[in-house]
Chain A
C-alpha cells in the first residue's frame, strides 16, 4: 500500500515549505516542523555522536528530554551549541550541524574511544592521570580540556536582545496538556488571575500527539476550541514557548520565554504566584538491553508524536518493545496509517488484547539490537529461551512513564514512590502549598483521570482563594485504564546496555560503581555521571535507581532519588543577565555641565556613578600632565572654575535643625550664625571619621550640608537613621538636593572679579562684607536665584556658587565669556586633586575608614562640650596614643623622584619589614606650584618628625624614594590667600 510522505496532520502547514541545511546538505521541511521531525521525514537517522565513546546516535525522543540529538545551530554572527533538534522549531534558512565528531558524522575518528571502552568506563579518571605528576599540567589537562565538553562557542559577540520581566498571578499553570487547559478554563471562568505557560511552541501538550476523539472532535480541534474560550477571558494570560525552569521560595517561579519574530529573543520572567499547578505531563523511560543506543531506536510515544503531530510517515518495519498498555496506542496509530508494524514485544505474560491485527510477542524481551550506523534488526527471547531474529528499521521502546515532577522537588520536597504506576510522584509530606501536581504529572495516565484530577485540584485552589467557580462543562471521555508490569532492564547478554544515553552510562557502569562501594544514590550519580547531562537523566534516572535497587536488594523507594535542582532545562547566562550589560549594567550620572564639558575638550573619569571632567585638553597638549599642570597654574595665578555638583547636598530644615546638625558633627555648630559656613567633621559611632564637608546656615532653621561625592548616599542614609531611630522626637526635615542644585567652584586670585561680574548689583561681595566662610542667598545674571559660599579647598581665594541645575550649562558658557580678560579656564578633578593635596586638605584617600580626628591633626575639633555621634568612642585610649599616626606632608629629596600612593614609610636605616613600618602614603601628585612630587600620608608620631628623612617603599611597583617629612600644608600654610 502506498502512503504519502507526510500524514494529514493539523499541526504542520504543508503549504509552507521551509528549506534548511544539516551538515552541509540541503533539505526541506514544513512550517510547524521541528528540526528533528524534518530530519526524520527526510530519512536522516544518524544525527550525532555520543559524548564519551562517540557512538552513532539518532533521535530518541520528541521533546526537551532528548539525550542524543544535540546539534549546533549556526546563526549569522554566533553559534548556538547543544541545541536539541527535538525542540528547535524549523525556520527558513536554518543551518545546523552535528557536534562532537571529526572529521565527519559518518566517519568520526574519535569513535576509536569505543574500542577502548574497557579502559575508560565510568569513573576512570579517578584511577588514571596520576603518574607522572608533572604530566598533569603539561599533558593531561590540556588534552582533557580539548576533548571534553559538548559543542563549541563561536566566541563572537552575541547581539541577541534578552530581557527580564516580572509577572504576578493568583494561579500559575505549568503545561497546557489536557489537565492544564481544563484547569485554566475553570480557574479563568471564576475570575482569578491565571497565567498558563507551555514549553512547546503550540498549546495542547500530549493531545497534539493523539488522534482519538474528544467530544467528537480530534484532540487538536478540541485544544483549539477550549483555547478559544480561554483566550476570551481577559484575566487569563497564555504564554507559549516558555519553560518554567525553577520553583523557588514564597511562590516565585523562574521561566524563560523564547520569542519568534521579535527583536527580543528571550525574556526571563520571575512569576510570583499564590498557587501553582504542575501539569507537565509524564516522560517515557527506556529499557536497557544490548546495543539499545543505535539510530532508529526511539521511545515508543515519540514515534507516535512524529507520526500524528508532525505527519512523519516514512517509518518502515517498526517493532515495539514494552511493559505497559500505552505502547498499543502507538501500534494502533501505526497500523491505521498503513505502516508496517512487525509487532509488539511485551514483557508481560498476559497483556490486554487491543487489536487482533497486532502481533504480540508475549513474555518476551529484546536481548540485542543489530546494526552499525543504523538499526537493522533485533534478537528477542521468550520465556522458554527461544531466540528469534526480527528485521526492523525502527524500534519503539517503553519501560513505563515517569510523572514529570522535577519542579515539585526544587524546594527540597522529596518525591514519593507509587506502586500502582511504578514511578515517583510529587511528595506530599511537607509539600509546599504553592504547587500541586495534576493529571499525568500526578500519576494519572488516562485522559479520563487527568481531566477529573484537574477539576478536583483547581476547585480546591479556588476554595483556598475563597473564589466560587462559575458554570463550566467538561469534555466527554470514556474511562480508560493503564496497566504496567515493572521491567527495568534486560539481564541477558554481556555486551553493554545503555542507561544514560547522553553521558554514555551503562548497566555495567552501575554494577561497577556498586562493586566499588559507591552505593548511595548520590555517589552513584557522581561516580558514573548518570543523570548529569543536559537532559538531567529524564529518560534514565529511575531506571538507574531500579538497577541500583536490584543490586542492593532494596526497594526503589528505599534507594531514594537525588535532588532535582533548577534549572529544569539548560539556561544561558545571558538569559539571567537580561539587559544588564554594557551601559545598562551600572547607571551613569551626568553633571549639569557635562555636555558643555564634552564639547570643550574634557576627558572624563568615573567617580562612583558620576562622570566628571578630569581635565580639559587644549590643542597643543598631547599628555594629560600638560593639561593638569596648566590648569593648576592658571588657577593659582588667575582664575578657574570647576563643576563640583557631584558633592552631596542635603537641605536641613525645621525647628530642631540646629540641634540636629550639632549632634551629627563632632565639632561645635551651636553658635554658627546665620550667613556663615563651617567645616564639619562627621564621625562614626566608633569614633572613626566617616565624612567631612561644610554646613551653611542660610536662616534660623535652614541649613545646607555638603558631603563628599562618594559618601553622599551613605551620609544621607546615616542622617535618616539618626532622625528616625535615634532622635525621632526632633522636628527636622532632611531633603537631598544634590540634583536640584548645580555647584560651581570659582577659584583663584581673580575669582572675586568674576563673581562681581555675575552677582546682581544689590549684593556686596567685597572681602569686608562677604568674608571667608560667609554664605548668602543671592541672585545672579538679572534675577536668577543662587547661593554663594565663600569656601576654599585649594588654598586660593575661592567661592562656590550654587544655582538651580537647569541654568548650569548656560552659566559656565557665560563665565567663559565674561572671564576672557581674566583668562578664566575650566579645570577638572585632577587639578582639583592636585590643589587640595598642595593645600594639605584630607579627602577620600585619607578618610579611609580607619582614621580618627587625631590622625588628621583635628583631635581638638572633637568638642567635649556637647554630645555628638562618635564623641565618646573617639576618646578611646587606642585612638589617642601619643605616637599614633598623624597626617604629614612628604617631599622627595630629589625633585625628579616620584612618590607613589600606597607606599609605606620606614626609617632610612631600617629594613623593609612589617615591624619597621611607620605609616603609608595616601595621596600623591606632581605639584606644578612646587615643581616637585609631593604626597600626604600618615606617619607614626608624625608631628614630631618634620624635617626627618624617610624611605617610601612600594614593593609592588618596586620603588624606593627618600623623602623629607614636612607640614602637610604645602601652599598657603597660614591661610592668607584664601582670606584676602
Chain B
C-alpha cells in the first residue's frame, strides 16, 4: 500500500466535531465536541499511594472522589467506578501508559463518546425535563450518571443552572441530539 507523501493526503479522515453548534437561540446554546481524547484510567490495587501521586503530578489535581468533577485548562476528570476515572482532554494513551506503568491500566475511549455542552439560563428548564436529578443539589464541579431518553450518560455541571456537559456513547448521538434540539425548540 502506498502512502501518499507527496500530497500529504491522509488516507482515512476521522469524523470530528469540534465545538459545532447544533442549537443557538435566545441565550441557549447547544454545541457538540468529540475532538478531545477520552481515556479510562484504572488504578491497580497494589500501589494506591504511588498512583495518587502520579495522578496529581500529571494532571495537576487530585483524583476526583465520587460525583466530583475536577478540571483545569488542559484536562477534566471524574470518577466512574471504584478505582476508575475518565480523563478528557489532550491526553495520549501511550504517554499515560509510560507514566502510570504498573500503577494503572489505560483504556482508550476516544471516539466512543460525544460531549454535548448546554449553556445558557434556559439550561435549568431543559434539564428539569430531561433528568430526574435534583438540580438544586447538582452544583458546580459535580458529575453524575443519569439517563436521558433511556440513554445512559454522564452529566457534568460546570456552572449550576448555566453550563452543563452531557457525555453520551456515540452510537446514541443522533437520538440524543434529536431530543435535545426538539426540547430546546419547544422551550425557546
Kindly state whether residue A760 has any CB partner on chain B within 8 Å.
yes
Kindly state whether residue B145 has any CB partner on chain A within 8 Å.
no
Interface centre among B13, B83, B112, B186 (most CB of A within 10 A): B112
Q: Is the CB of A167 within 8 A of B128?
A: yes
**Who on chain A is nearest to B3 by CB?**
A782
The residues of B with any CB-CB pair to A shorter than 8 Å are 1, 3, 10-16, 34, 40, 42, 44-46, 83-84, 105, 107-113, 128-129, 131-137, 149-151, 169-176, 178-179, 182-183, 185-187
Q: Is the CB of B1 within 8 A of A733?
A: no
Question: Which residues of A are found within 8 Å of B113, using beta-carbon distances?
Answer: 739-740
Q: Is the CB of B129 within 8 A of A163?
A: yes
Query: In the docked arrangement, what's the CA distance between A599 and B39, Å?
Result: 32
A264-B187, A733-B107, A759-B1 known; A589 vs B131 contact (CB < 8 Å)? no
Question: Which residues of A are found within 8 Å of B150, using beta-carbon distances?
Answer: 586-587
Question: Which residues of B are found within 8 Å of A124, using beta-carbon distances?
Answer: none
Q: How far is the CB of A495 from chain B (nearest CB, A)?
A: 54
Identify which of A165, A761, A782 contacts B11 (C-beta below 8 A).
A782
A267-B129, A814-B12 known; A589 vs B172 contact (CB < 8 Å)? yes
Query: In the docked arrangement, what's the CA distance between A522 and B95, Å?
Result: 74
Q: Is the CB of B171 within 8 A of A591?
A: yes
Q: Is the CB of A654 within 8 A of B170?
A: no
Q: Is the CB of A804 within 8 A of B44?
A: no
Q: How far is the CB of A980 from chain B (nearest CB, A)?
A: 22
Q: Is the CB of A806 within 8 A of B111?
A: yes
Q: Is the CB of A733 within 8 A of B42?
A: yes
**Who on chain A is nearest to B125 by CB?**
A165
Question: Which residues of B are found within 8 Å of A761, using beta-carbon distances?
Answer: 1
Query: In the docked arrangement, what's the CA distance between A760 and B110, Å?
Result: 22
Identify which of B40, B44, B137 contacts A735 (C-beta below 8 A).
B40
Interface centre among A587, A590, A655, A807 (most CB of B within 10 A): A587
A sample of 14 cross-chain residue pairs with beta-carbon separation below 8 angstroms, ordered by A number, consists of A163-B183, A164-B129, A166-B134, A264-B186, A264-B187, A270-B132, A587-B150, A589-B171, A590-B173, A654-B105, A702-B105, A735-B107, A735-B109, A737-B109
**Who on chain A is nearest to B148 by CB?**
A587
Query: In the docked arrangement, what's the CA distance between A167 and B179, Å?
Result: 20
A270-B132, A587-B150, A804-B111 known; A263 vs B11 contact (CB < 8 Å)? no
Q: Is the CB of B15 within 8 A of A806?
A: yes
Query: In the docked arrangement, what's the CA distance between A805 and B34, Å?
Result: 11
Identify which of A161, A739, A757 contacts B170 (C-beta below 8 A).
A739
Q: Is the CB of B111 within 8 A of A583?
A: no
Question: Which residues of B are found within 8 Å of A562, using beta-carbon distances?
Answer: none
Q: Is the CB of B1 within 8 A of A757?
A: yes
Q: Is the CB of B183 within 8 A of A739?
A: no
Number of A residues, CB within 8 Å of B? 59
Q: Is the CB of B128 within 8 A of A165?
A: yes
Q: How far is the CB of A716 from chain B (nearest CB, A)?
A: 12
Question: Which residues of B are found within 8 Å of A701, using beta-carbon distances?
Answer: 105
Query: In the docked arrangement, what's the CA distance between A267 and B3, Å?
Result: 58
Identify which of A166, A587, A589, A807 contacts B149 (C-beta below 8 A).
A587
Question: Which residues of A are found within 8 Å of B178, using beta-carbon distances?
Answer: 583-584
Q: How far is the CB of B104 from chain A (nearest CB, A)?
A: 9
Question: Which residues of A are found within 8 Å of B135, using beta-carbon distances?
Answer: 168
Kindly state whether residue A398 has any CB partner on chain B within 8 Å.
no
Query: In the docked arrangement, what's the CA distance between A733 and B81, Å?
Result: 10
Q: Is the CB of B133 within 8 A of A193?
A: no
Q: How far is the CB of A894 from chain B (nearest CB, A)?
A: 44
List 10 additional A-B contacts (Cβ < 8 Å) besides A587-B151, A758-B1, A807-B13. A163-B186, A168-B135, A584-B178, A587-B175, A590-B173, A731-B44, A733-B42, A739-B169, A806-B111, A809-B15
Contact with B along A579-595 (1 / 0, CB 8 A): 11001101111111000
Query: In the docked arrangement, what's the CA distance between A161 and B151, Å?
Result: 21
Q: How far is the CB of A763 from chain B (nearest CB, A)?
A: 11
Q: Is the CB of B110 within 8 A of A740?
A: yes
Q: How far is the CB of B50 from chain A (nearest CB, A)?
A: 15
Question: Which residues of B are found within 8 Å of A272, using beta-carbon distances?
Answer: 134
User: Nearest 9 A-B pairs (CB), nearest first?
Assistant: A740-B112, A653-B105, A739-B112, A806-B14, A733-B42, A589-B171, A781-B11, A806-B111, A805-B111
Kindly state whether residue A381 has any CB partner on chain B within 8 Å.
no
Q: Is the CB of B11 within 8 A of A814?
A: yes
**Who on chain B is nearest to A735 by CB?**
B107
Q: How far is the CB of B101 from chain A (nearest CB, A)?
A: 12
Kindly state whether residue A811 has any CB partner on chain B within 8 Å.
yes
Question: Which residues of A are found within 8 Å of B15, using beta-carbon distances?
Answer: 806, 809-810
**Who on chain A is nearest to B84 by CB?**
A733
Question: Which residues of A are found within 8 Å of B182, using beta-carbon distances?
Answer: 579
**Who on chain A is nearest to B109 by CB?**
A740
Question: Which residues of B are found within 8 Å of A264, using beta-carbon distances?
Answer: 186-187
Q: Which of A319-345 contact B (CB under 8 A)?
A: none
Q: Is the CB of A168 within 8 A of B171?
A: no
Q: How far is the CB of B58 from chain A (nearest CB, A)?
A: 19
Query: In the docked arrangement, what's the CA distance between A586 and B151, Å?
Result: 9
Question: Which residues of B are found within 8 Å of A760, using beta-carbon distances?
Answer: 1
Interface centre among A168, A756, A784 (most CB of B within 10 A): A168
**Who on chain A is nearest to B169 by CB?**
A739
Kindly state whether residue A610 has any CB partner on chain B within 8 Å.
yes
Q: How far is the CB of A677 from chain B (nearest CB, A)?
A: 19
Q: Is the CB of B83 within 8 A of A806?
A: no
Q: Is the CB of A166 within 8 A of B132?
A: yes
Q: Is the CB of A590 within 8 A of B174?
A: yes
Identify which of B45, B134, B172 contacts A168 (C-beta below 8 A).
B134
Q: How far is the CB of B1 from chain A (nearest CB, A)?
A: 5
Q: Is the CB of B84 within 8 A of A165?
A: no
Q: Is the CB of B134 within 8 A of A739?
A: no
Kindly state whether residue A651 has any CB partner on chain B within 8 Å.
yes
Query: In the docked arrangement, what's the CA distance between A739 and B129, Å?
Result: 27
Q: How far is the CB of B147 from chain A (nearest CB, A)?
A: 10
**Who on chain B is nearest to A817 by CB?**
B11
Kindly state whether residue A616 has any CB partner on chain B within 8 Å.
no
A587-B149, A587-B172, A588-B175 known; A807 vs B14 contact (CB < 8 Å)? yes
A264-B187, A739-B171 known; A810 vs B136 contact (CB < 8 Å)? no
Q: Is the CB of B42 within 8 A of A735?
A: yes
A166-B133, A739-B170 known; A651 vs B107 contact (CB < 8 Å)? yes
Question: Which residues of A are found within 8 Å of B46, using beta-carbon distances?
Answer: 655, 731
**Who on chain B is nearest to A264 by CB?**
B186
Q: Which of A701-756 contact B (CB under 8 A)?
A: 701-702, 731, 733, 735, 737-741, 756
Question: Which residues of B are found within 8 Å of A804, using beta-carbon distances?
Answer: 14, 108, 110-111
Identify which of B12, B44, B128, B129 contacts A811 (C-beta below 8 A).
B12
Q: How far is the CB of B91 from chain A (nearest CB, A)?
A: 14
Q: How far is the CB of B36 from chain A (nearest CB, A)?
A: 12
Q: How far is the CB of A605 from chain B (nearest CB, A)?
A: 16
**Who on chain A is nearest to B108 by CB?**
A740
Question: Which residues of B are found within 8 Å of A168, using beta-carbon distances?
Answer: 134-137
Q: How far is the CB of B136 from chain A (nearest CB, A)?
A: 6
Question: Which residues of A are found within 8 Å of B10, using beta-carbon distances?
Answer: 782
Q: How far is the CB of B125 from chain A (nearest CB, A)?
A: 9
Q: Is the CB of B112 within 8 A of A737?
A: yes
Interface centre among B11, B14, B129, B170 (most CB of A within 10 A): B11
Question: Which residues of A are found within 8 Å of B11, using beta-carbon distances?
Answer: 781-782, 784, 810, 814
Query: In the docked arrangement, what's the CA distance between A580 and B44, Å?
Result: 42
Q: How far is the CB of A38 from chain B (nearest CB, A)?
A: 30
Identify which of A163, A167, A193, A590 contacts B171 (C-beta below 8 A).
A590
Q: Is the CB of A735 within 8 A of B84?
A: yes
Q: Is the CB of B112 within 8 A of A584?
A: no
**Who on chain B is nearest to A646 by CB?**
B171
Identify which of A166, A579, A780 contacts B131 (C-beta below 8 A).
A166
Identify which of A267, A583, A654, A781 contacts B175 (C-beta below 8 A).
A583
